[in-house]
Structure 1
Amino acid sequence: MHVVLTRGPLVSTKRAFNNEATPAIGLASLAGYLRGRGLRVTLFDPIAEGLNQLSPAPGFEGYVCQGLSFDEILERIPGDTDVLGFSVMFSGEWPVHRELIKRLRSRLPNALFVAGGEHITALTEFVLRDCPALDLCVRGEGERAIADIVVRRATGGDPREVDGIGYLDEDGRYVEKGGLTRIVEVDTIPWPYWPEGYLEKFWSAGKSFGVQFGRDMPINVSRGCPYRCTFCSSPQMWTTRYVLRDVDDVVAEIEHYIRAYQIDSLQFYDLTAITKKRWTVEFCRKLIERGIRLRWSLPSGTRSEALDEETLGLLREAGCTYLVYAPESGSPRTLERIKKRISLPDLTKSVLTARRLGIVVRTNLIIGFPGETRRDMFETIRYGLKLAFRGVDEVPINIFSPYPGSELFATLRAAGRVTLDDRYFLSLNAINTDYTSMNPMTVNESVGVRRLALYRLFAMMSNYLIGYLVYPTRIWRTLRNVYGGGASAATVFEHRLKDARKRAMVASEPAKT
């Protein structure tokens, strides 16, 4: 029984600036779990195999695929595949990935096609009807479900009896087996399996989640998020059960990576890595006590409740050099509406303390929520400008996008304001990666689409301009990091500039004959 785990190419607009290829830690985690069950597994990642390739997205004008082309994927997918596991995390890529799945079905007519990921979990029935090539969809955490599916397939059982899945029966009716399953004993889950040479492809190409430091290793120390922000799809995917791994197990994994891969840095992929001060303090002290000297970052966006001066000092001493906060809004009214239960004064204090201690800091902000007024947006923009003036390194502002699986998406869809079609899905892709677009999708009632795009452009440019004018030493740092020969960058902005420069150099090279 041969299981192949894969994903589609990275999809973006031709002018996308903020869209980065990253190692497939979800697939690697599934592969590690299945290998632990004694199953034969191949991790086939078209993105890793074609990191420097760009090709038009078949059938979708204005969009490109980074990674292997469809034809190359069809040629290289193992022909003896018995179960194909396809990951679809991002709804903005669904139309392109759907077409790839259909073509894979023609290549593997007898294989069992199983899809999973956040997009699949949020819209299981829709996905099955939109893509008849799929046999089953796994909802939520995938390890146990996919393992049980494979075992049943191998022993002649019915994979549709596995809990945590959805499928269409012979009469076309949608059937959902059980609810979302969670693995509470996270320390029993095997570490991710990284095929030989896989990570080196990303390191040599300078690709990473957030800021690349060098030989970056992706890692997760938790699962889920205990909060219920209305714009986030996490509760739909993971429920609100938040589980942290044992510190000793995490440190053991890190030490294994140092020995096996000679890593020099870590990237924490967790949704919410820091919520408990005790765990964070213990983790940092263990790194210090064991003499583990790595640079590491928290690029997903964290909260501030556990990040007081003591904890931030330990983070810095233990090697944390890049920290992302996620206040989302500078408007107390908006924060209440989106159920983002934070104190802006406390978060601001934590942000400025981190900056004073020498940690590079980014704060993520959003404008254009449903029901948000122009005044609310100006409060957020003004808050971002204040942070930039006070030394915060990066203050990006994005436009709200109604993501499937979130509470706001459900509300908008029920009101008829979201239509599930390719135009909607692709708009999710473009809205916050193509900053040149003056026509992004918006569901805000107070501000028109073009004005909203101008607000974002003004705020983004102003925040970075303030940073360079008030702190001119950053100009030299950026020039050194973008044009220097090293792999490292201090900020995501520098990393994106460095990547854009590489792409331009490749594009200017004469064609090989």
Structure 2
Amino acid sequence: MTREPGGARGPLRIALVNLRSQNDDWHQIVMVPLGVMYISSALKRAFGSEVDVALFDMTLCPARGDTAPLVRAFLQRHRPDVVGLRGFSSHADQFPVVAGLAKKLNPECLVIAGGPHASTGSRGLHAEESIDAVVAGEGEETIVELVGNLLAKRPFRETPGLSWFEGNEVRKSPSRPMIQDLDDIALPDYSLLDLNAYQRQMTMCGFLPEGKFTSIFTSRGCHYRCTYCHDNFGKRVRYRSVDSVIDEIGYLIEEHGVDEFHVIDDIFNADRKRAIGIFNEVVRRGWKIRFAFPNGLRGDIMTEEFVAAAREAGAYHWAIAVETATPRIQKLVKKHNQLDKVVEAIEMSDRHGVFTCTFNMLGFPGETEAEMQATIDLNLESRAHMMAVFAVTPYEGTTLFDESGSAEDGELGSGGYHRFSEEVADPGLSDVPRSRIQELIVDAYARFYFSGDRLQRMMELSSSCHSLVHLALNLEERRWAANYSFDTLPDARAARSLADLNRRARELAPELCSHLPVPGVELAGNGPAINRPVS
């Protein structure tokens, strides 16, 4: 470092950067960066005025364009001694970019990579010249000990929980156990950001939030062993107590005016009794708030009691992971979904008025096109309101990655996941070409979203779930992707419903919805009479 940290020259300056890929299709999704907020709280609780922590969140940058000048300007202003980078594997291309910027401005600064991608053990990430160390898993205790070592002028690599590249191999300090008492972790540091900047942005739900929203963790870890999934927080669920969760919700209501909470646990309903306890306490306190669960709930363990309690507490949106409708593949990828109960959970959710999205994946090893179509058909026949379909990608750090031979094919590292995109000829893991999988996905969306019955049910839920305006904006993207015009929609009832939805959305929010087409539709007779869309 160029100066003595925490001494007469002032506090140790720490810059945290929440990454966003230039190539990520999810660039429009904006969520409050809880991970770095927890890190900031841990540092401030441990060191107080000895540290100065600042955040640059790349997800708030303009959706298109080069973010490097903005990151460079932030680093020049803050002149950090330590730079912490956080990102997903889909952001792998940005770790070396931002680390390189930091080192160019100050070769003596310490650059630490953390977050989900760092937890994969990626050799490519470790090998980046500008990255000094990697923190896998939870970072609160590791970063506090690391900064303590810096302040005490001890070698930072003495810190347990670190790994780094040396002599063409990954070296590690002693491992660090998972944090057992989650109630003891300091709450996320909201002084690090302007919460208002995260409002009126597209969330993980695929919609704009209705109220003032933030995200919340109530547990860490997942005890299931799905081969395609990460292991960031371990394969045992650790829970915050009901009191701890309620205290955080109360604080956010009173201090920040939050009235919408997006729970992003790996599996919130793993302990059904605790989950219902949280819902019941919200009701007892008379809070008029809303809950969404965009990260997914386990469908085959949902009960009527859980759904009813969730709805009473304000739950309005959640996702349920189907992944595949083929029992053979359920077993292969160790998902072990009881599909009949999953379908029942979707129906139950619809009956209670919870807007429900399904998660699905196509292209598992050895999966046939007929098996992919079975997954699509399950969704088409279900009472779900949304469906998300992804082409299988073997990410580093997963069993699927190891079993697929991806590690032997060459380091995916920074941006190498393009090999599994629909634009390349490589068939991926299945014999069905990726281009064909993409065709199946586009066709599935067209058939799913433009069913008259489904559109009507989505519109009926708009009073208690997503607004008509947000629904219209979401469906316009779907219509455009499906290449439908009003005269090519195969379902006449869907055409009438969509026309009515767009017309009402334009009236409610002309500044947001002026681009929505509103044809003239003859509501009587066998089908719509189409005029030119209104611009």
Equivalent-residue separation in structure 2 for 1:285 and 1:359 (angstroms): 17
Which of these residues, 349, 352, 358, is aligned with residue 353 of structure 2? 358
Q: Could you tell me how far apart the structure 2 residues matched to 1:439 and 1:404 are?
A: 20
Summarize the Cα distance change of 1:102–1:266 in structure 2 as closer, same or farther, 3 Å threshold.
same
1:399-478 alignment runs, 5 A limit? 399-413=391-405, 416-417=408-409, 419-420=411-412, 422=414, 424-426=416-418, 431=421, 439=424, 442-466=427-451, 468-472=452-456, 474=458
Q: Does 1:148 align with 2:158?
A: no
The answer for the alignment partner of 2:182 in structure 1 is 186
The letter for the 2-side match of 1:20 is I
Residue number in structure 2 paired with 1:160 = 157
Query: Is contact 1:140–1:181 with CA below 8 Å preserved after alignment?
Result: no
CA distance in 2, matches of 1:295, 1:83: 38
Deviation at 1:8, TM superposition (A): 2.6
Call closer, same or farther: CA 1:185–1:470 in 2, change over 3 Å: closer
Q: Distance in 2 between matches of 1:450 and 1:126?
A: 27
Q: How does 1:275-354 map to 2 (within 5 A)?
A: 275-354=270-349
| Aligned-partner Cα distance in 2 for 1:413–1:351 | 35
1:263 alignment partner in structure 2: 258
Q: Which has the higher contact order (CA 8 A, sep 6+)?
A: 1
Partner of 2:54: 43
Aligned residue identity for 2:112: V
Decide whether the 8 Å contact of 2:316 with 2:354 is kept in 1. yes
Gaps of 5+ in 2: 1-11, 479-504, 516-535
1:110 shift after superposition: 1.5
Q: Given that residues 93 and 414 in structure 2 are in contact (C-alpha distance below 8 angstroms), is that contact kept between their aligned partners in structure 1?
A: yes
Please list the CA deviations of residues 457-500 of structure 1 after superposition, one character each: whole Å capped at 9, or x if unmatched: 1112111112x44543646878997884xxxx46994597899x
Q: 1:220 aligns with which of 217, 231, 235?
A: 217
Q: 1:107 to 1:495 in 2, by over 3 A?
A: farther
Count of aligned residue pairs for this structure pair: 468
Taking the aligned partners of 1:245 and 1:317, their CA distance within structure 2 comes to 22
| Percent of residue pairs identical | 20
Q: 1:354 to 1:374 in 2, by over 3 A?
A: same
Residue 97 of structure 1: how far off its partner (Å): 3.1
Task: State how far apart, in whole Å, the 2-side matches of 1:284 and 1:491 are.
Answer: 30
**AA at the equivalent of 1:82:** D
Q: Indicate if the aligned counterparts of 1:214 and 1:265 stay in contact, CA closer than 8 A.
A: yes
Contact 2:84 2:113 in 1 (8 A): yes
Residue matched to 1:511: none
2:378 corresponds to 1:383: yes
Query: Structure 1 stretch 180-189 or stretch 373-382: which is displaced more?
Result: 373-382
Q: Output the CA distance in 2 between the equivalents of 1:451 and 1:76.
A: 43
Looking at structure 1, the residues matched to 472 and 251 of structure 2 have their Cα atoms a distance apart, in angstroms, of 28
Q: 1:43 to 1:425 in 2, by over 3 A?
A: farther
Deviation at 1:19, TM superposition (A): 4.3
Gap change, CA 1:149 and 1:214, over 3 Å in 2: same
Answer whether contact 1:482 1:494 (CA < 8 A) is retained: no
CA distance in 1, matches of 2:248, 2:453: 42
Residue 434 of structure 1 aligns with which residue?
A: none
- Distance in 2 separating the partners of 1:491 and 1:299: 19
> Aligned in 2, Cα 1:150/1:320: closer, same or farther, shift over 3 Å?
same
1:335 corresponds to which letter in structure 2? Q
Alpha carbons 2:449, 2:455 under 8 Å: kept: no
Larger radius of gyration: 2
User: Structure 1 residues 105-114 or 331-340, which shifts more?
Assistant: 105-114
Q: Which amino acid aligns with 2:448?
A: N
Tell me the alpha carbon deviations over residues 269-309 of structure 1, each in whole angstroms, 9 at most, x when there is no partner: 11111111110111111111111210111110110244201
Change (3 A) 1:253 1:445: closer
- Alpha-carbon distance change, 502 to 87 in structure 1, aligned in 2, over 3 angstroms: farther
Q: Distance in 2 between matches of 1:52 and 1:164?
A: 35
- Sort the Cα spacing of 1:440 and 1:304 in 2 relative to 1 into closer, same or farther, 3 A: farther
**Is the CA contact (8 Å cut-off) linking 1:85 and 1:116 kept in structure 2?**
yes
Deviation for aligned residue 1:254: 0.3
SS in 2 for 1:238: coil
User: TM-score, normalization: structure 2?
Assistant: 0.81
Kept in 2, the 8 Å contact 1:116–1:142? The answer is yes
Return the letter of the residue paired with 1:448.
P
SS of residue in 1 equivalent to 2:111: strand
Question: Normalising to structure 1: TM-score of the pair?
Answer: 0.84
Tell me how far 1:126 sits from its aligned partner: 2.6
| Pair 1:415–1:473, CA change in 2 (3 A) | closer
Tell me, yes or no, if structure 1 residue 29 matches structure 2 residue 24.
Answer: no
Deviations 1:327-375 (A, max 9, x none): 2111111101110022111111111111101111111111111121223
Contact in 1 for aligned 2:365/2:430 (Cα 8 Å) = yes
Is the 2:268–2:297 contact (alpha carbons within 8 Å) kept by the matching residues of 1? Answer: yes
C-alpha RMSD of matched pairs (Å): 2.9
Provide the C-alpha distance between the structure 2 equivalents of 1:442 and 1:491, rounded to a whole number of angstroms.
35
How far 1:249 sits from its partner (Å)? 0.7
Cα distance change on mapping 1:481 and 1:122 into 2, 3 Å: closer
Q: 1:266 to 1:475 in 2, by over 3 A?
A: closer
- Tell me what 1:138 maps to: 135
TM-fit CA distance, 1:424: 2.3
